[in-house]
Copies of this chain bind each other. A is one copy, B any other.
Amino acid sequence: MSDISKQILSDHKVSITNPRILVLEALLDSKNPLTVDELQSKLSGSVAKSTLYRVLNDLKKIKILHEFTSPDNSTVVELLLEDHSHHHHLFCSDCGEIIDVEMSGEFENLLAKEIKKIEKQFNFLIQDHRVEMFGVCTDQCANCK
């Protein structure tokens, strides 16, 4: 009960198991998104490979995990919790770091308008969007080790 991970699982009506708790803890422990490799390292063998992928799929099903692909084709995952608001991503091609970025309300509003136009133009219902930015962090970058 004391545990956030357990709470998350019970909130979403999925059974509370050790692998799920361990994966959630590893994800909760990291401020920024993680590649599956990084996640596997953090878990250091405590969860079988097949189980790790199954748990990630479980978390996707209950809509609290977002999965995407980095520019170097690694699979990246990040938890989407209530307190984690709408954001976008910044990728460093030097150190591989992936950083969560919030854009201004002004920007999101204009994008929303733009999306309405596009919906009409292409007869689409647009449900989600994503802005990705690519570059390199400078020497002083706080995110580089």
State whether the Cβ of A64 lies closer than 8 Å to any Cβ in chain B. no
Question: Could you tell me which residues of chain A, from 85 to 106, have a CB within 8 Å of some CB in chain B?
Answer: 90, 92, 99, 101, 103-104, 106
Check if A83 is an interface residue, CB within 8 A of chain B. no
B122 with A90: CB separation less than 8 A = yes
With A126-B90, A140-B123: A133-B104 Cβ-Cβ less than 8 Å: no
Q: How often does this chain occur in the complex, in copies? A: 2
Distance (whole angstroms) from the CB of A113 to the closest CB of chain B? 8
How close is A126's CB to chain B, nearest CB, in angstroms?
A: 4
A57 to chain B, nearest CB (A): 13
B132, A129: Cβ atoms closer than 8 Å? yes
Query: Which residues of A line the B interface, CB within 8 A?
Result: 68-69, 73, 90, 92, 99, 101, 103-104, 106-107, 110-111, 114-115, 117-119, 122-138, 140-143
